[in-house]
Structure 1
Amino acid sequence: MAEGTEAQAPERLGGRYVRVLGLAALIGVPISVAAFAFLALLHWLTHFVWEGLPEHWGLDPVPWWWPFPWLLIGGALVALAITKLPGHGGHVPIDGLSAEPVQPSHLPGVLLAALGGLPLGVVLGPEAPLMAVGGGLATILTSRWAVKGGPENALLGASGSAGAVAVIFGSPLVAAVFILESVGRAGLRQTRVVLPCLLSAGIGALVFTGLGDWTGLPITTLALPGLNVPARPDLADLLWTIPLALLIAVGVRQIHHLGRLLVPHANRRPALMAMGAVTVTAVAAALYALLTGRSPVEVLLSGQDGLGTLTSEGIAPGSWALVALLVFKGLAYAVSLATLRGGPIFPAVFLGAAFGVLMSGLPGFGLGPAMAAGMAAATAAILPLPVSAALLIVLLLGTESTGMAPIVLIAVVVAFVAEQLIDRPRKDAAPATGTA
């Protein structure tokens, strides 16, 4: 039955598929511009709250109490979006990332939850709101040509998400593969989706790469400044990668399990749980600052802009600070996943990188391979989209570090398989208990 449906799918669209490709190309540029505006505003707000205001008031370094007022404001804004606006502020991050088209009426709630929470310290990333913005704008821009609820609508929504999320991933190829793998898990026909996604993300990327004499709009992408990655791994690097990936898979599962315990409470009392989550996050950041003498900001936010701290000589955390960072940021990440709004990827990347730095003290385990394995394993365990995770981390490491690809691929496979095996009892029990 499934095979017959699959075989007939191209006939249902017929010649309209070419029109879908044309629309995907047209919406790539405006969606990328909107994504740029969203990220620019997010970056400005983050800089203003955590750097600009403290410097203006002579609070250098940022004191331990500074996160409390901002996180409470952020929690209130997220709670408002969840309880009062259509769409409940967007997709719940503990459920992963959704490739389903977002209704335009849900966009105000998504934007309020994202811009109200993410720059004020919520431990989540911007990728989920970006996907929602891209998909929702695609629906708005193509509403005159696509049938509501029809197959074209799903394809254009996916291509809009790809065009938007390419901005944060720094690569249209990563975005297209990411969306392709996501919709594949959702049951959509992958070969039909890939072309609009590639076209929208590729044309949209011109906004940032430039064209001719125009250099494009400047964006901040993932980077690891100061990290010297060897041309090829040693045998010890390969051997240590396996237990590191296993440990990360177990750790990510514990974070996920803690978040799952909070989901029923968040469904019943969303506003109260959102405020509780930001309070826990603020306390975690304050304790980290008081115990280590470091900035509380390291526990907050997505960690995307803090990766360089882990590799910078003279300011990188020591072993004790790394342990505290993993504990406190992991706790804040768990409560944020269940009760707030945002994306799950970048905090996982940061935690994986931090654990890799901690493990790099093992005999023969280099810093570069350890961080590569840690980031790859954490990304694969939290999504889990193994191809996207591998591609994202390989590109993150840079063009001169392709020799680390074996480390990344081994870590992704080990973490993905371990996460699936660990999670199997819960999935097997779901039909009997009525839980997901």
Structure 2
Amino acid sequence: MTTPGDGASAAPAALPSVSARTLLPVVVPALAVGVGCSLLFLAISAVAERLEDVWWKDLPGALGIGGYSSLWMIAVLTLTGVLVGLVVWKAPGHAGPDPATLGLGESEPLRAHVVPGLLVANVLMLAGGPSLGPENPIIAANAALAFWLGTRAVPKAPGRMWVPLATAATLGALFGTPVAAALVVSEALAGKPLPVKGSLWDNLFGPLLAAAAGALTTTLLASPSFDLGLPPFGKPGWDDLLAAVVLACLAAALGMLAVCLFPYVHRAFGQLRHPMLMLPLGGLVLGLLGALGGHLTLFKGLHEVGELAADPDGWSAGRFAVMAVVKLAALVIAASCGFRGGRIFPAVFIGAAFGLCAHALVPAVNPSVSVSAGVLGMLLAITRQGWISLFTAAVLVASPAILALMCIASLPAWLLVTGRPQMQLKQDGSSLR
């Protein structure tokens, strides 16, 4: 038998409290990092959009040809591969390590001299049309700059705090809300020793403040919105739950097919051994895929998915299926051949096209449910980030009821992807698990 004293001694020790005096010194650095990361993200986005207009509107207009004709898409994507290849070949630091080996946020910051080449490569990629987003390079660049500037401006501050602040700030800027950053940071801290000897909220204080500053700066200057304007979704029924579970699992299975092919495609491009061969060839293949799938399958996909959602009944099921498969193939090619970019936004397009294909096949399936479930399953497979997948799937539809469905649908979909190869490679070319 145990005595009251025995029970008391067996109770887990309470976490030590953290005083406000410990957290207050983080406020100014977090705010500065948040605003700075957002401004750099907005600047890169603005430059890329202007260059995109030149390549895809001004030049074709001056030449009197269609901006999205097959030959023009092939030419621009191939040229983009050549230009990015030159940057990767000649820029100091070669625009960072092989992007196939990097996740959404790495613990070790890049050297500062690598950042200019990485940003130039990312701008060229965003403007030229490969199917990648800005998130990985801009997070890496912001983390490197925050670490380099922070350790010099505040030498007494712990160096390990700058990378989480920059990562959270950039996520806040990308999504226009600090919620996504809080979810990603909390997931990253799971199972690891906490940097601050206190509660989870003590450890989230700085990153959440940086994310809020980044999100507010982006919102004030750019007014981002992820709401796709899909038909309103009211009270869910059993048929909605069944559709959400089935579609999330099918989308996850489709995404896992690409994940399993990823190391083989990467190895094939790696046989060329030079960025001036790998990237132009990758650009050519992406141009051919763009000619097959149409211009909506180009670029990072966030604006393009809005066009799909604006008219859920505007394309046939076959056309939606072609766009989903072509975009998925383009994502694998772009991530394998060396283009610097992230995979979240292209995965959103793929999942949305997959969901709209299901709605076209079975019109009784609510398009809001099908799109959210498709995005959820695809993101789980491609990113292996549970919280960010759930958050993104829910935020696309302005309905609180969709969140409960997605929470349930995420569970069987997660069983399909957990413990399996990830869309990230080790240095030897094998998949992480």
**TM-score where L is the length of structure 2:** 0.83
Cα gap change, 1:186 to 1:303, in 2 (>3 Å): farther
Q: Which amino acid aligns with 2:298?
A: L
User: For the residues of structure 2 that align with 1:48 and 1:193, how far apart are their CA atoms?
Assistant: 45
* Range moving further from structure 2, 16-25 or 35-44: 16-25
Residue of 87, 90, 103 corresponding to 1:81: 87
Q: Which amino acid aligns with 1:106?
A: V
Residue of 210, 218, 228 corresponding to 1:224: 228
* Cα deviation digits, residues 114-146 of structure 1 (max 9, x gap): 011121011101111221222122123312255
Equivalences for 1:331-370 in 2 at 5 Å?
331-339=329-337, 340-360=339-359, 361-362=361-362, 364-370=364-370
* Cα deviation digits, residues 222-273 of structure 1 (max 9, x gap): 3413x11312222112112222122211211111222211333444514122
Following TM superposition, by how much is the alpha carbon of 1:330 offset from its aligned partner in structure 2, in angstroms? Answer: 1.5
Q: Are 1:411 and 2:409 an aligned pair?
A: yes
Equivalences for 1:123-272 in 2 at 5 Å?
123-145=131-153, 152-182=158-188, 184=190, 189=195, 191=200, 193-209=203-219, 216-225=220-229, 227-267=230-270, 269-271=273-275, 272=277
Contact 2:174–2:215 under 8 Å retained in 1: no
Contact 2:393–2:406 under 8 Å retained in 1: yes
| Structure 1: tracts of 5 or more residues without a match | 1-6, 210-215, 289-295
Contact 1:156–1:196 under 8 Å retained in 2: no
Equivalences for 1:422-433 in 2 at 5 Å?
422-423=420-421
| Structure 2: tracts of 5 or more residues without a match | 1-12
Contact 1:31–1:163 under 8 Å retained in 2: yes
Q: Which amino acid aligns with 1:33?
A: L
* Cα deviation digits, residues 139-197 of structure 1 (max 9, x gap): 233122556xx993232122112212322212122123224424558876583642221
Contact 1:277–1:332 under 8 Å retained in 2: no
The alignment partner of 1:142 has SS state of helix
Match of 2:317 in 1: 319
Cα gap change, 1:435 to 1:386, in 2 (>3 Å): closer
Cα gap change, 1:234 to 1:435, in 2 (>3 Å): closer
The alignment partner of 1:205 has SS state of helix
Following TM superposition, by how much is the alpha carbon of 1:57 offset from its aligned partner in structure 2, in angstroms? Answer: 4.3
* Range moving further from structure 2, 246-255 or 164-173: 164-173
Q: Which amino acid aligns with 2:253?
A: V
Residue of 108, 114, 133 corresponding to 2:116: 108
Cα gap change, 1:345 to 1:10, in 2 (>3 Å): farther
Match of 2:55 in 1: 49
Q: Are 1:377 and 2:377 an aligned pair?
A: yes
Match of 1:388 in 2: 388
User: For the residues of structure 2 that align with 1:88 and 1:240, how far apart are their CA atoms?
Assistant: 46
Contact 1:223–1:307 under 8 Å retained in 2: no
User: For the residues of structure 1 that align with 2:268 and 2:203, how far apart are their CA atoms?
Assistant: 36
Cα gap change, 1:204 to 1:420, in 2 (>3 Å): closer
Following TM superposition, by how much is the alpha carbon of 1:86 offset from its aligned partner in structure 2, in angstroms? Answer: 4.1
Q: Are 1:274 and 2:279 an aligned pair?
A: yes
* Range moving further from structure 2, 339-348 or 319-328: 319-328
Q: Which amino acid aligns with 1:345?
A: I
* Cα deviation digits, residues 342-374 of structure 1 (max 9, x gap): 001011111000000011132631111111111
Contact 1:172–1:201 under 8 Å retained in 2: yes
Contact 1:82–1:113 under 8 Å retained in 2: yes
Following TM superposition, by how much is the alpha carbon of 1:26 offset from its aligned partner in structure 2, in angstroms? Answer: 2.5
Match of 1:293 in 2: none
Q: Are 1:122 and 2:130 an aligned pair?
A: yes
Residue of 59, 64, 77 corresponding to 1:71: 77
Match of 2:41 in 1: 35
Match of 2:7 in 1: none
* Range moving further from structure 2, 118-127 or 159-168: 159-168
Contact 2:358–2:370 under 8 Å retained in 1: yes
User: For the residues of structure 2 that align with 1:386 and 1:74, how far apart are their CA atoms?
Assistant: 33
Q: Which amino acid aligns with 1:331?
A: A
Cα gap change, 1:161 to 1:238, in 2 (>3 Å): same
Match of 2:8 in 1: none
* Range moving further from structure 2, 91-100 or 230-239: 91-100
Residue of 94, 98, 104 corresponding to 1:97: 104
Q: Which amino acid aligns with 2:83?
A: L
Contact 2:30–2:165 under 8 Å retained in 1: yes
Contact 2:265–2:332 under 8 Å retained in 1: no
Q: How many equivalent pairs are there? A: 405
* Range moving further from structure 2, 181-190 or 370-379: 181-190
The alignment partner of 1:124 has SS state of coil
Q: Which amino acid aligns with 2:374?
A: G
Equivalences for 1:280-319 in 2 at 5 Å?
280-288=285-293, 296-313=294-311, 316-319=314-317
Contact 2:78–2:281 under 8 Å retained in 1: no
User: For the residues of structure 2 that align with 1:299 and 1:61, how far apart are their CA atoms?
Assistant: 14
Following TM superposition, by how much is the alpha carbon of 1:303 offset from its aligned partner in structure 2, in angstroms? Answer: 0.8
User: For the residues of structure 2 that align with 1:420 and 1:127, how far apart are their CA atoms?
Assistant: 23
Cα gap change, 1:153 to 1:77, in 2 (>3 Å): farther
User: For the residues of structure 2 that align with 1:260 and 1:285, how far apart are their CA atoms?
Assistant: 22
Q: Which amino acid aligns with 2:371?
A: M
What is the percent sequence identity of the aligned residues? 27
Cα gap change, 1:376 to 1:189, in 2 (>3 Å): farther
User: For the residues of structure 2 that align with 1:311 and 1:433, how far apart are their CA atoms?
Assistant: 37
